[in-house]
Amino acid sequence: MKTPRYVRWFNDLGIEDIAQVGGKNASLGEMFRELTPMNIKVPDGFAITVDGYWDTLREADILEELKDLLNPINKDDVHDLEVRAQKARELIEDASLPIALSKEISEVFQQYIKLHGKSVSVAVRSSATAEDLPTASFAGQHDTFLNIRTEKELLRAYKKCLASLFNSRAIAYRINNNFDHFKVALSVGVMKMIRSDLASSGVMFSIDTESGFKDAVFITAAYGLGENIVQGNVTPDEFYVHKPTFEQGYRAVLRKYLGDKSLKMIYAKNGESIQQEDTASEDKKKFCISDEEVLKLAEYAIKTEKYYSAKAGEFRAMDMEWAKDGIDGQLYLLQARPETVISQQDQNILEQYHLKEAGEAIVKGRAAGTKIAVGTARLVANEDQLSAFQEGEVLIADSTSPDWGSVFKKASAIVTNRGGRTCHAAIVARELGIPAIVGTKHATQKIDDGQLLTISCAEGEEGKVYAGKLDFEITKTDLSKIQKPHTKLMINLGNPDLAFKLSSLPCDGVGLARMEFIINDHIGVHPMALVRIDKVEDLTEREEIENLIANYKIPQEFFIHKLSEGVATIAAAFFPKPVIVRMSDFKTNEYANLIGGKYFEPSEENPMLGFRGASRYAHPDYAEGFALECKAMRRVRDEMGFKNVILMIPFCRRIEEGEAVLDVMSTYGLRRGVNGLEIYVMCEIPNNVVLIDDFLEIFDGISIGSNDLTQLVLGVDRDSGTVAFDFDERDPGVLKMIKLAVEGAKRNMRYSGICGQAPSDYPEITDFLVNLGIDSISLNPDSLLETLVRVNELESKKILPIV
């Protein structure tokens, strides 16, 4: 066969061929050639060059007609835009292909069938010359056709791909991004269909898409063909893998989120290419890929990112599509392109959105972005309602379509019932810099048309829609101008959902990671109820527990994995900086509020001074629960690789109590000094200060809990509003105790820090602590930057208050 004019095989292509085969095909060719030797499976195929596009327009003599249709055009006139776009597509679809082009496509397709067998089916994918650029993804703008089996189907799909260059969404996207309609051409890729209709598929990024955190691979997955995830038809499973510990040889999924995966796109049985079917209820309740497969995908992502970063000479975050073949069981990388939103932002500028008011959320879902917006709800059920959409409204829909591009630029925010954080709506929202909340399930039912809303994506991975207008603020900080002081400044953190977002703060780690938030919000069950589920008499609570543990071999595994994932997420965000994790410090009345808790907790007159902290850990009534905490922490350090985790024991009243707790921990593989493990004690009881030398013989350091220390030094119940006027961390007696504690730590050459509320509330206490020479001060995240400036000034001028 003579040298093809229009067709080129993937293994002959590289990124240098983008002008001939478009961004996607050039990338696929380079992937096949360069990544396959790295043990990354990439499907083979061929590209039909842009010469086919131009020759089709010229031979049909429709180029000038197309130009007349599009010049000029108002993208904001939705009806007129769609009418013109439809006429443009009809011109191409009605055109005859050049004979030489049709013949060449048919001949190459026959070769492909001989290579793969008569039963082979292919995907026909558009690839524009302005696609998959570092600054513009063109995600979802052009069409793909699946399960193509015959020459006739292939040629028809080819013309439809060419015509999709003139979808209304693609036209509007080019106008918005200043691309000339007739300087962008379309190539078409033909590649083997991976039988994910019999398995699963998804999208993954080599960074966290919301925060820009570079050390995590983010993977989404759903049953069937991947279009459902891209189109936002389903809420997929989500997974994170930490890159640095993975490359150190640890193999563990950092955290995962179970999506409903309500639909599955499969090959049609009625002769059409594809069809939707409902996912079986049992399949919805379990993850669609195994942990081993998540880790294999993470390996693909890490290798791909490294390759493209090395080629670019700079860090290059990647956006990838993958699929599992249900016949051979293998995982394939289908596409790799530069991530185009977070990676383009100035990483030295820290922009933070903060709600200044509390409200009750109407609906919740997965947050796309980290911003807050206020606007009036506009419910859109179909395209006919788009023309009524007004500037600044909040788009509320079951799901969105790429065809809605003309209204996306008008929207202040997007909220959908369905979809995940890698669907089209989420990607476009990030590109436009507006918040989106996807996968809410009930937004269109619970939100009224015309209702004033506050859309918040600033509270972690979970986005919230509030009724009314809530006040919020935006702060911007140039991190390049911040100098780190000698005194270490750390943050207090309990919510893993905020960890990646806060990781860019100029801090020295986490001085207090609260375990209670994870247990309360991510687990919800009393640990003893998982050990002794037979003691839970309430049938409703028993059913709740059974539903929660459905994906785990034994009930205790649910607690161990959920707690370890939460703590590991915080440790990953600040890795390798230290993260001090306090073992659980619920009071009995707080433990009793957990599912099944009332069967295991005593009723106390004063829980603040009762069965809490260290006194629980070796006690028969909670020893089995503490065992689960210890197993989770061992998993974090030894199986997941987060050696930066330091453990801390709260409310330890006596030396003997501390020794008993350490003995228990050692039986579960948490022994001081082994694998670099350090164990601190909270210094929050006067006896901790009086016997500071003795406590520091058995512990590696102290962290001062100013809240409890103040209440016990002054004899004030900190939960009592009646005597609140007497609760003051600045009292000379409290400051004296703090001074004695820090001096004791120095005398014993041990770590000293503070993690109570006082430094966040009172700048003068920060001055006092800096003058004492305390090793670290841990603050609420919103107090960090202001305190950092103050400490820098104190240390540089050496103008310190007299102690």
Q: Which residues are catalytic?
A: 424, 755
- Count Cα atoms within 13 angstroms, Cβ side, for 59: 15
Give the torsion through C-alpha atoms of 784, 789, 795, 798, to 10 deg.
Answer: -130
CB 357 within 8 A of CB 229: no
Residue type, 467: A
**DSSP line for 612-646:** -THHHHTSTTTHHHHHHHHHHHHIIIIIS--TTEE
Tokens describing residue 106: 């048919």
Report the C-alpha gap between 394 and 415 in whole angstroms.
7
Q: What is the DSSP letter of 14?
A: -
Report the C-alpha gap between 121 and 123 in whole angstroms.
7
Tokens describing residue 657: 């109590």
Report the C-alpha gap between 729 and 744 in whole angstroms.
20
Nearest in space to 589 (alpha carbons), one of 613, 563, 610, 614: 610
- Count Cα atoms within 13 angstroms, Cβ side, for 719: 5
Determine how β-strand 645-649 pairs with β-strand 579-582.
parallel
Q: Per DSSP, what are the bridge partners of residue 767?
A: none
CB 716 within 8 A of CB 767: no
Report the C-alpha gap between 15 and 337 in whole angstroms.
11
Nearest in space to 766 (alpha carbons), one of 782, 740, 789, 748: 789
Q: How far is CA 135 from CA 25, 339, 421, 480, in A?
A: 18, 8, 20, 24
Nearest in space to 649 (alpha carbons), one of 711, 589, 701, 706: 701
Per-position b or e across 384-407, b if 16+ CB within 10 A of its CB? eebeebeeebbbbbbbbbbbbbbb
CB 399 within 8 A of CB 417: yes
Report the C-alpha gap between 522 and 514 in whole angstroms.
13
| DSSP helix/strand/coil, 203 | strand
Return the number of other C-beta atoms located less than 10 Å from residue 189's C-beta.
27
